[in-house]
Structure 1
Amino acid sequence: MYEYNKLSLQERRELVNQRLERGFPPHSPPHPIQIETFYLLTAACYRHQSILTTSSRRQQLLNLIFEQFINRGFEITAWAILMNHYHLLVYVHDFQELGSIFQKIHGSTSYQWNLEDKQRGRKVWYRFSDRAIRSERHYQATLNYIHYNPVKHNCVDSPYDWNESSLHWYLEVYGREWLRDGWVNYPVRDYGKGWDD
């Protein structure tokens, strides 16, 4: 999205035409796979602004995410809420419901946080993106990617130091050895590289 802003008018037209030729919408993230399966769902603050700067705000968002997804029968198996984006690993039984779920979550948080920050009219969220999980290996690597995300973005030195992550639930239920085996067997390096080529 941000690279698009740096393009010339001609380069933007060419990029939009390429997207249309591939059957994607002109500017929105494409949703090429809409089946019942696990998905990596990601949502970011508009222009990656750090709006989720407090633990209480991140926890509030997490609570709302669980409320909205669980009430509609979705299963969340992993999560990480960072200062300007979040990742979820979710079993999606009805892809068409995702738009209204994110609209509810993002609409209510935008309204409240803009009031709190005295920034009425500020755009808080950008659209969500999705990636269908292709295999057990992809699922396990995604789980590790989500848990490692706070380290990747320099929030903490160890994934165990970030509180708004499902890593602590996995640690409690499965133990450190299970997690360590997962890191070794399903490494995060180059996660996602070349998937869209």
Structure 2
Amino acid sequence: MLYRRANVQGATWFFTVNLAERGHDLLIRHVDLLRDVTREVKNRHPFEIVAMVVLPEHLHAIWTLPADDADYPMRWSLIKAGFSRSLPKSEAIRQSRLHKRERGIWQRRYWEHQIQDDADLQAHVDYIHYNPVKHGHDRLPVEWPHSSIHQFIERGWMAADWSAADAILLGHE
């Protein structure tokens, strides 16, 4: 079955990307590797990371692509492959993945949503930053170390004590 994706150059996208094994903590155990691979892909195929959070078994990101580019699938493919190739083989690999020479670390598909306007962007940024609390990893968004919330606070775009309650009061959720 052919999976069709939108082809909009220069768009801003929200993504959810999951590990195949949802109970693992591979992404935070190897967060520096994930950062390095993402940086390498970003250097070769530029895009802006608007917001991002890395949790143990999934991540959320908002990217803006260059004005003449719509190829986010290639970027995700390179990130997932680069991350996987750098890890020792320890996961169970199904026959269907062996046949395609896949490691079995990531789910094949991911969720993408094209950001429509400023309100949609704000809602997804808030979702990203509140996600560690939603999943019970921390009590406050600022406590989670693998989040762009720290850059948002540093730049004065969010208060250090921001929470989803603030987003709800502002009508962003």
Both structures adopt the same fold (TM-score exceeding 0.5)? yes
Q: Which runs of 5+ in 2 are unaligned?
A: 94-102
TM-score normalised by L of structure 2? 0.77
Partner of 2:170: 185
What SS class does the counterpart of residue 46 from structure 2 fall into? coil
TM-aligned CA deviation for residue 52 of structure 1 = 2.0
Partner of 2:38: 65
Partner of 2:106: 125
Distance 1:58 1:161, change over 3 A: same
Partner of 2:125: 143
Partner of 1:95: 70
Q: Which runs of 5+ in 1 are unaligned?
A: 1-24, 189-197
Question: Which structure shows the bigger proportion of residues in helix conformation?
Answer: 1
> How far apart in 2 are the matches of 1:172 and 1:73?
24
What SS class does the counterpart of residue 142 from structure 1 fall into? helix
How many residues in Structure 1 have an aligned counterpart in Structure 2?
A: 158
What SS class does the counterpart of residue 110 from structure 2 fall into? strand
Question: Which residues in structure 2 correspond to 1:11-90 (within 5 Å)?
Answer: 28=3, 30-32=4-6, 34-52=8-26, 54-55=28-29, 57-90=30-63
Report which stretch shifted further, 36-45 or 67-76. Answer: 67-76
> How far apart in 2 are the matches of 1:109 and 1:37?
25
Partner of 1:172: 154
Larger CA Rg, structure 1 vs 2: 1
Summarize deviations over 1:59-105 as a string: whole Å, max 9, x none: 32133223312432211110001111111111023222x22222221
1:137 and 1:186 in contact (8 A); partners too:
no
1:171 and 1:179 in contact (8 A); partners too:
no
TM-aligned CA deviation for residue 153 of structure 1 = 1.4
Report which stretch shifted further, 155-164 or 40-49. Answer: 40-49
Partner of 1:5: none
Structure 1: which amino acid aligns with 2:70?
A: F
The two structures, once aligned, show a CA RMSD in angstroms of 2.6
- Which contiguous aligned blocks of 4+ residues in structure 1 show a shift greater than 6 angstroms? none
2:131 counterpart of 1:159: no
Distance 1:150 1:178, change over 3 A: closer
